[in-house]
Structure 1
Amino acid sequence: MKGRLKGGLALLFLSLLLLGVITIHTVVQIQSYGKLINYVGIVRGATQRLVKLELEGFARDDILEYLDGILLELNGEEGAYGLPSPRDARYQEDLTELNRMWEDVRESISAYRAGLEDGAMLLETSEAYFEQANKTVFSAEAYSSGQSQKLLLICAGMFGIMLLTWSFIFWAYAKKLLLLESTNEKLNDLAKRDPLTGAYQMDIFREEAQRLLEQQREDHYAVLYTDFADFKYFNDVYGYTFGDDVLAHYGGILSAEMREGELFGRVAADNFVLLLRYREKGEITVRQRRADREIEEYLTRSRNGQSISTCCGICCVEDVVEALNIDGFLDRANFARKTVKNGTNPNYVYYNEKIRQRLWAEKRIENRIQEALDAHEFEVFYQPKVLLSTGQIACSEALVRWRSAEGNIVSPDLFIPVFERKFMINRLDQYVFEEVCRWLHRLLLEGKKTLPVSVNVSRLQFYDQDFVHRYVEIRDRYEIPPELLEIEFTESILVDNTPLLLKTVGELKKAGFSCSIDDFGKGYSSLSLLKNLPVDVLKIDRLFFVDEDGREQDLELAHSVIDLVRKFHIRTVAEGVESEEQVEQLKEFGCDYVQGYVFYRPMPQEEYEGLLSHLLLE
């Protein structure tokens, strides 16, 4: 294309140059043709003067010579006047006749001078010559006029070519500018997008989404917040390359679904947000299901039937009574999504009044958590763990409950997510740890029975470089023997940062703490990691014991895990056990401890302390 443009432009310039040369030549010719007309006219007028003088008795041979010289040049011979000799048939015909008649005039003058002819004959001959001269002048003028028209056409052609040339240049330049502008727009758009999925980066998504919402189109808008269930499992099992491939393919699917006035962005990892238009609310789930089915089909083809489900929260702008910006709508869509993640709703959830009330409840909790921490409204409950070999309580897990100033118990399901979202969960962990140490210290001072207590720590603690040092300082301040404290962390930390986990667990063990992995078995961890991780206890996820579908397979899997970790000298705790039948099976499997309602529910500190005192008396 670029070569053709250059070739076309060169051709236009060559044509313009050729026409310019022709024009200059024609202009010069036209100037000489004007001179030709003048001299033919001179021949006509001078001949009449010559005859008149002859009839008056004045012989003028000089005029005769003058006219002979002009006529010779008119006939193509070189002379002093530089007259042209056009190759025009009509003019040449008239000029030939004029030359013949000039000879008649010369003979008639000679005869008149010799007295052989009277003046009337000479006058008649000159009149005929005058008419022919006139005719020749007209022929020269007609030829000159034709050349002028030709020049006019050439000039018009030149103007047209010049106009075409400049139009071509302007078009090419404009096209180049448009191409450059289009390229810049594409580059700017690419700079605003996530390179893996093609989705807008979040700051750009927020800006563009807010602009679209403020335009107040006739169509309604909905904000969607969606991700995959257990996507970390895919990364862990199939590798991050395949995980990235899935995300890139999903981004392409979402991009193809976008219509005018719609956007999609990527929050992080497998979390996406969308701004969609709709006329009927049902359109939203139909479209999103279609996109999700496509990625499921892609996974089925890629991984031999492997499937993945999505969790999508939908907030329709018309369903929100508050005046919100895009961040507010995103929060509500995300809140609706979380109700899918915790298993209380199907895959697609619309933000509604019930969710709104829960959101406001969390907002109220968010506004009070610092005050509640300062007022020590959080209480530690203890759930005993029973040693299966003896049937006796061997230790317990510390669990936190919130008893508000009004005396109401707030469920951990409500306030724990708020602590996590506000990045304050580490403060709650430390609060519980210190409360446990304070209680154990008092029991030791009073000489009462004490058993080891396991305390949960969040993944946020593992990114705190002073975490181990701070916990050691609290333990030592209350003079608690290291064997009475066990640190529990969830299985998901294994995936987040394995090197950091190994380092931190090593420091905890060096400081004398026992370590346990909570919720093991239904998440993302690799059993092979346990051979390098110096943990003391493995807590098997309660989902192995409550899921009716595939129950036999789950129990067999739990059996296999128990057999394997025993080889690493790791004790096992089955949590969430609720029936005697399960207890008997776990005894057969060789499980060490059971923690569940089949024996004890979580109980307040005073109740657990009384239980320990009673056991001591026995």
Structure 2
Amino acid sequence: MINKKGILIVDDSELDRSILADILQEKYKVFTAANGRDALAVLHENGDHIAVILLDLYMPVMNGYEFLSVQQADEVIADIPVIVITQQDNNDAEIEALSYGASAYLTKSYDRELILQKIGDEIRKQEVDYLMKTIDLDTLTGCYNREGFCKKAQDLLREEAVYDIIAFDIEQFRVVNDIYGIHEGDRLLQYLARIMTGFARENGGICGRISGDCFVMLLVRKNGYEEMVGYVDKAMERYPLQMKIVVRFGIYQIEDRTIDVTVMYDRAVLAVKRIKGKYGEAYAYFDDSMRNELLLEKEITNSMQQALADGEFLVYLQPKCNLKTEEYVGAEALIRWMNPERGLLPPAQFIPIFEKTGFITEVDLYVWEQVCRMLARWKQENRTLIPISVNVSRADLYHSDFMDRILELMDKYDIESSLLHMEITETVYTENQNQILDMVNQMEKLGFKVEMDDFGSGYSSLNMLTEIPVDVLKLDMRFLEGYSAGKAKGNILEFSVGLAKSLGLESVAEGVETREMVDELKRLNCEMGQGYYFSRPIPIHEFEQKFDKNQKQVVNA
């Protein structure tokens, strides 16, 4: 790329081609084409010798926009920068051209110095990019990698301009990989990186890829980002894929430049997450509510180890009931945090933080020990024993000694594996297939029952069921929300119950809240239910009282 000194002039006017050639031929080797189609032929024959393309937009046979669409989709010639030269001098035309992948825009003034400067700038960018590629650039997309972006961003933040950090990603990108293949997913990432790098350059900034489909830009601050959203939407509409590609943005407005760039990015990511799946919301700003979430996260992170040592974590139980007799036939163990200052914290407030930090494995093992200790006490008190299911988090899968520690607890308290069920959410199955397969096979050999939690909340469940040993399906009762208003969700639930039976699996409906739900589940021959209709999650001593009462009612029924 560094040795390219050729310029391709694409213009239907012979006079304009001649004027431009006169300006350029002293310094560069000049190639010409009268339209987009001829230009593509020249590129495929001489592409290795062409450094920059000068392109008119309005030509017969194939106009400039059509040429850009084809060029940007062709991996061989997509990286050659295009400078649009046209008679039109308006902002809309410039935005349109840049959204198609052009690198720069000039009006046909034929200012010799300006044209040579623009071409020189593009060639220098190429040379710098080439030299940096093995150091600071992402090998897949050609934009900055994480380290390169952070270094360049720190340099820019020493300047006086006011900047924003913008995190962005593709909604449901995993679906693209699963349906169309990883190669097509990579092509989409390259396309997005190309158009956003161009946008960033034209707006005084830089673009980088953090990981997967997670990108970041540093841009000179704008009063709103509708132009950016429109630019991306137009580009995505042209991408040749039979599904709608949606890109969402989170914006962190930089006020304190002493903050690490990675922290700024994390805050922009929080803003992206706030609008995930929300129709019509393309971008969001990091705000005070998110700042408060960060403060709470810091407080939780700082106090969680001591909280575990001080016994602030409590195990609650929620019964699983036989739907025909309403007898307690099992229970799920759930963690609660009784914080001395904030009171009882909801799990949604601390579990994601525990998962993020890896502390979740310590908490999971604490729950396992409390459950084993409880079952041992029930044995001593000659209580009726029922199986207790305990959650296995995604982080647990990466600890090679996790199962060994569970077995040590079982040996310590003399608990049989038949009394312990391992509950794994469907999303864990789909995200960590190799790790989960190894662990589940190990569980099965040791005699544990495995429950797939939140079945139906994802899209890969049927595939998972054919690949991974599962004993119990826990059905997501959101399928019955609004059941009386339509049959679709009820039909899905009926299918899921039937599927479980056909595979020889037990089924447990989660989130059962009304008598109407119970009756419908009984009609579908679902065996067990769990939810507020039977009992909310309660402390162990309360559960034991309700369990004793439930047993007496069943005996007397």
Q: TM-score, normalised by structure 1?
A: 0.65
Q: Do residues 294 (structure 1) and 238 (structure 2) align?
A: no
The one-letter amino acid of 1:525's match is S
Decide whether aligned partners of structure 1 residues 333 and 186 sit closer, same or farther in structure 2, where only a CA change above 3 A counts. closer
Determine the structure 2 residue equivalent to 1:81. Answer: none
The one-letter amino acid of 1:302's match is L
1:302 counterpart SS class: coil
Q: Do residues 230 (structure 1) and 175 (structure 2) align?
A: no
Decide whether aligned partners of structure 1 residues 496 and 187 sit closer, same or farther in structure 2, where only a CA change above 3 A counts. same
The one-letter amino acid of 2:300's match is I
Decide whether aligned partners of structure 1 residues 361 and 558 sit closer, same or farther in structure 2, where only a CA change above 3 A counts. same
The one-letter amino acid of 1:207's match is K
Shift of 1:456: 0.6
Shift of 1:311: 4.2
Q: TM-score, normalised by structure 2?
A: 0.72
Decide whether aligned partners of structure 1 residues 196 and 535 sit closer, same or farther in structure 2, where only a CA change above 3 A counts. same
Determine the structure 2 residue equivalent to 1:262. Answer: 205
Whole-angstrom distance in 1 between the partners of 2:420 and 2:440: 14
- The match for 1:406 among 324, 341, 345 is 341
Decide whether aligned partners of structure 1 residues 379 and 495 sit closer, same or farther in structure 2, where only a CA change above 3 A counts. same
The one-letter amino acid of 1:188's match is L
Shift of 1:399: 1.1
Identify unmatched segments of 5+ residues in structure 2: 7-25, 27-119
Deviations 1:364-402 (A, max 9, x none): 111101111111211111122222232222211111111
Shift of 1:344: 12
Identify unmatched segments of 5+ residues in structure 1: 9-176
- The match for 2:417 among 482, 489, 493 is 482
- The match for 1:313 among 237, 242, 250 is 250
Shift of 1:430: 1.1
Identity %: 35
Shift of 1:570: 1.2
Deviations 1:21-59 (A, max 9, x none): xxxxxxxxxxxxxxxxxxxxxxxxxxxxxxxxxxxxxxx
The answer to whether the Cα contact below 8 Å between 1:380 and 1:432 also exists between their aligned partners in 2 is: yes
Deviations 1:572-593 (A, max 9, x none): 2222233333332222222222
The answer to whether the Cα contact below 8 Å between 2:455 and 2:461 also exists between their aligned partners in 1 is: no
Whole-angstrom distance in 2 between the partners of 1:249 and 1:178: 22
Determine the structure 1 residue equivalent to 2:139. Answer: 195
- The match for 1:241 among 174, 177, 183 is 183
Shift of 1:194: 2.0
The one-letter amino acid of 1:199's match is C
The one-letter amino acid of 1:367's match is N
The answer to whether the Cα contact below 8 Å between 2:232 and 2:247 also exists between their aligned partners in 1 is: no
Deviations 1:62-115 (A, max 9, x none): xxxxxxxxxxxxxxxxxxxxxxxxxxxxxxxxxxxxxxxxxxxxxxxxxxxxxx
Determine the structure 1 residue equivalent to 2:54. Answer: none
- The match for 2:260 among 309, 321, 325 is 325
Shift of 1:224: 1.8
Whole-angstrom distance in 2 between the partners of 1:520 and 1:345: 28
The answer to whether the Cα contact below 8 Å between 1:449 and 1:612 also exists between their aligned partners in 2 is: no
2:349 counterpart SS class: helix
Shift of 1:260: 4.6
1:266 counterpart SS class: strand
- The match for 1:553 among 472, 482, 488 is 488
Deviation larger for 220-229 or 179-188? 179-188
Following superposition of structure 1 onto structure 2, how do residues 389-468 of structure 1 map, counting pairs within 5 Å? 389-406=324-341, 408-468=343-403
The one-letter amino acid of 1:215's match is E
Q: Do residues 250 (structure 1) and 192 (structure 2) align?
A: yes
Decide whether aligned partners of structure 1 residues 236 and 475 sit closer, same or farther in structure 2, where only a CA change above 3 A counts. farther
Shift of 1:408: 0.3
Deviation larger for 348-357 or 539-548? 539-548
The answer to whether the Cα contact below 8 Å between 2:483 and 2:489 also exists between their aligned partners in 1 is: no
The answer to whether the Cα contact below 8 Å between 1:397 and 1:454 also exists between their aligned partners in 2 is: yes
Determine the structure 2 residue equivalent to 1:92. Answer: none
Determine the structure 2 residue equivalent to 1:214. Answer: 158
Whole-angstrom distance in 1 between the partners of 2:373 and 2:278: 37
The answer to whether the Cα contact below 8 Å between 1:492 and 1:524 also exists between their aligned partners in 2 is: no
The answer to whether the Cα contact below 8 Å between 1:578 and 1:597 also exists between their aligned partners in 2 is: yes
Whole-angstrom distance in 2 between the partners of 1:589 and 1:549: 16
1:200 counterpart SS class: coil
The answer to whether the Cα contact below 8 Å between 2:327 and 2:551 also exists between their aligned partners in 1 is: no
Following superposition of structure 1 onto structure 2, how do residues 49-88 of structure 1 map, counting pairs within 5 Å? none
The answer to whether the Cα contact below 8 Å between 2:203 and 2:219 also exists between their aligned partners in 1 is: no
Whole-angstrom distance in 1 between the partners of 2:179 and 2:482: 23
Shift of 1:569: 1.0
Shift of 1:566: 1.6
The answer to whether the Cα contact below 8 Å between 1:265 and 1:274 also exists between their aligned partners in 2 is: yes
- Higher fraction of strand: 2
The one-letter amino acid of 2:241's match is S
- The match for 2:216 among 255, 268, 273 is 273
Decide whether aligned partners of structure 1 residues 547 and 263 sit closer, same or farther in structure 2, where only a CA change above 3 A counts. farther
Determine the structure 2 residue equivalent to 1:512. Answer: 447
Shift of 1:2: 9.1
Whole-angstrom distance in 2 between the partners of 1:523 and 1:450: 33
Whole-angstrom distance in 1 between the partners of 2:470 and 2:364: 20
Shift of 1:222: 1.3
Deviation larger for 324-333 or 181-190? 181-190
Which protein shows a greater Rg? 1
Decide whether aligned partners of structure 1 residues 340 and 399 sit closer, same or farther in structure 2, where only a CA change above 3 A counts. farther
1:208 counterpart SS class: helix
- The match for 2:537 among 593, 598, 602 is 602
Whole-angstrom distance in 2 between the partners of 1:298 and 1:404: 53
